[in-house]
Chains A and B, each alone.
Chain A
Amino acid sequence: RKEVEQDPGPFNVPEGATVAFNCTYSNSASQSFFWYRQDCRKEPKLLMSVYSSGNEDGRFTAQLNRASQYISLLIRDSKLSDSATYLCVVNKNNFNKFYFGSGTKLNVKP
Chain B
Amino acid sequence: DAGITQSPRYKITETGRQVTLMCHQTWSHSYMFWYRQDLGHGLRLIYYSAAADITDKGEVPDGYVVSRSKTENFPLTLESATRSQTSVYFCASSESAYQETQYFGPGTRLLVL
Which residues in A have some Cβ–Cβ distance to B below 8 Å?
4, 31-32, 34, 42-46, 49, 87, 91-103
Mostly, the A contact residues are strand
Known contacts A96-B31, A98-B98; is A43 also within 8 Å of B107 by CB? yes
The yes or no answer to B80 lying at the interface (CB within 8 A) is: no
Q: Which of A4, A42, A93, A98 contacts B106 (CB 8 A)?
A: A42
Partner-binding segment picked from B12-20, B37-45, B66-74: B37-45
Contact sample, A vs B, 16 pairs, CB 8 Å cutoff:
A4-B42, A31-B98, A32-B99, A34-B101, A42-B107, A43-B104, A43-B107, A44-B43, A49-B99, A91-B98, A96-B94, A96-B97, A96-B98, A97-B59, A97-B98, A99-B59
A103 near B42 with CB under 8 A, answer yes
Q: How far is the CB of B69 from chain A (nearest CB, A)?
A: 19
B42 near A100 with CB under 8 A, answer yes
Q: How far is the CB of B48 from chain A (nearest CB, A)?
A: 5
B104 near A45 with CB under 8 A, answer yes
A32 near B98 with CB under 8 A, answer yes
Interface residue tally for chain B (C-beta within 8 Å): 25
The yes or no answer to B110 lying at the interface (CB within 8 A) is: no
Q: Hey, what's the 0/1 contact readout for B41-75 against A, CB within 8 Å counting as 1? A: 11111001010000010110000000000000000
Output the residue of B33, B98, B107 with the most chain A CB within 10 A. Answer: B98
A43 near B105 with CB under 8 A, answer yes
The distance in angstroms between the C-alpha atoms of A98 and B33, with both chains bound, is 10
Instruction: Please indicate the chain A residues that have their CB under 8 angstroms from the CB of B42 in the complex.
Output: 4, 87, 100-103
Q: How far is the CB of B47 from chain A (nearest CB, A)?
A: 11
Given A95-B56, A96-B97, output 12 extra A-B contacts at Cβ < 8 Å. A31-B98, A43-B104, A44-B43, A45-B104, A46-B101, A49-B101, A91-B98, A97-B59, A98-B102, A99-B59, A100-B43, A102-B42
Instruction: Please indicate the chain A residues that have their CB under 8 angstroms from the CB of B97 in the complex.
Output: 96
Instruction: Please indicate the chain B residues that have their CB under 8 angstroms from the CB of A49 in the complex.
Output: 99, 101
Q: How far is the CB of B65 from chain A (nearest CB, A)?
A: 19
Output the residue of A4, A87, A93, A100 with the most chain B CB within 10 A. Answer: A100
